[in-house]
Amino acid sequence: MYILDDIEVRAREELFINIHPIQPGGRLTPEAMKALIAYGDGYSTCDWCRKPFRLDKIKRPPIDEFHAELAEFVGMDEARVVPGARRGFQAVVSSIVRPGGSVIVSSLAHYTEFLAVEDAGAIVREVPLNQSNIVTAEATAEKVEEVRKETGRLPALIMIDHFDYMFGNEHDVRGIAKVAKEYGIPFLCNCAYSLGVMPINGKEIGADFIVGSGHKSFASPAPSGIVACTKEWADKVFRTTQMVGDVTRRKFGIKEVEMLGCTLMGGVLIAMMASFPAVKERVKRWDEEVRKSNYFVGEFLKIKGNKVLSEMPRKHTLTKVDTTESFDVVARRHKRRGFFLSDELKERRIVGEFAGATKTWKLNTYGLTWRQVKYLAEAFQDIARKYGIPVG
């Protein structure tokens, strides 16, 4: 089935149980899909754009209200939508980090944080993990001291992931916020894996900046994201242009430099808005999602040789597992190698594992029903039994 030439129809979410590590939180709601269809045309949000001519001021559809509610939802004073969390990192780093400066990041920092820092001409300084692969407040404080000792200056920013992309572990962002406050260093909490799936309150965390991802955790199309901050930082990160044309004397006073003016024109934004009511409801059910995650992991660990590399019990639906001593043993003697597992899963209408990987890999149970989670767990056990791996 092809849309056109070599672009195939995508129906993974409709036809399969998808355990892809980064896809489940960005699956659209039916409302978002309707919005995408109605607002698909390029500049569809500009129909009722009036003075002062900026996306987040548009009243019809109520983009201005959405921005106000979004700030409230994340517990911050100001919020903007951006084309992905990475653009949020870039906007903050570009605003407050000078070339040659240092930014404290996690040893599990996402690569886009590295790039944002590099783009600003600064360098990353990683906080080491503890034995459970957690970034602690103590380790962060030590790193700050290390940077101060080595460079004679405090780091310009502390940017730590609430939950990381590798293990889905929760890091001590509240403790780290306190450390940041003690040193007077601004703190960006990267909530790409949490904002939109669980309740997030930036002020309660103690963050100066909250960044989230629409396509990762907010049931929204790509590229979409959120950057929010306290009012203390709004004038800096959302500063408006000061540039004046030397010939025309033109000024574009209302446009925000780091946002490059308007950000998410069109269907992507309206889809985010359409998903918002469902997102507000679903974050209240996060505990249930975590229970399903732990149920799955418990069943998965009954397969002899299976390990979980993420912290236990699970606090997230994204989990890194190690099947080196179970499925990989099978793979080593199977003619399809590691793809045997993908074949077996696909036969059971499960997709989203990293095809061919049977050593360490990631999966995400977010949004599966109890029936699906149970089916998923049974499917792995069934495959194990089929290849003679004991299930206890």
On whether the CB atoms of residues 280 and 295 are closer than 8 A, the answer is no
Residue 126 in the binding site for a second copy (CB under 8 A): yes
Residues 94-113 that bind a second copy (CB under 8 A): 94, 107, 109, 111-112
Q: Which stretch binds a second copy (CB under 8 A): 43-51, 183-191, 314-322, 336-344?
A: 43-51
3-state secondary structure of 348: coil
Residue 338 in the binding site for a second copy (CB under 8 A): no
Distances (CA, A) of 305 to 284, 322, 342, 377: 35, 8, 18, 15
Name the minimum Å distance from CB 260 to a second copy: 4
Structure tokens at 374: 């149970």
Nearer to a second copy, 86 or 292 (CB): 86
Residues 189-208 that bind a second copy (CB under 8 A): none
Residue 51 in the binding site for a second copy (CB under 8 A): no
Nearer to a second copy, 264 or 389 (CB): 264
Residues 285-314 that bind a second copy (CB under 8 A): none
Name the minimum Å distance from CB 157 to a second copy: 15
Residue 41 in the binding site for a second copy (CB under 8 A): yes
- What letters, b where the CB count within 10 A reaches 16 and e where it falls short, cover 17-49? bbbbbbbbbbbbbebbeebbeebeeeebbeeeb
Residue 329 in the binding site for a second copy (CB under 8 A): no
Strands 78-82, 102-106: pairing is unpaired
Residue 281, C-beta contacts closer than 8 angstroms, at least 6 positions apart: none
Name the minimum Å distance from CB 256 to a second copy: 8
Name the minimum Å distance from CB 35 to a second copy: 5
153 Rama class: left (phi>0) / alpha (psi -120 to 50) / beta:
beta
Query: Could you say which of 270, 321, 377, 389 contacts a second copy (CB under 8 A)?
Result: 270
Residue in 280, 279, 269, 238 with CA at minimum distance from that of residue 58: 269
Residue 263 in the binding site for a second copy (CB under 8 A): yes
Burial of 14 (0-12, 13-18, 19+ CB in 10 A): exposed
Structure tokens at 296: 């799955």
E-state strands within 19-177: 78-82, 102-106, 123-127, 157-161
Residue 371 in the binding site for a second copy (CB under 8 A): no
Residue 68 in the binding site for a second copy (CB under 8 A): no
Residue 44 in the binding site for a second copy (CB under 8 A): yes
Q: Which stretch binds a second copy (CB under 8 A): 200-208, 261-269, 304-312, 324-332?
A: 261-269
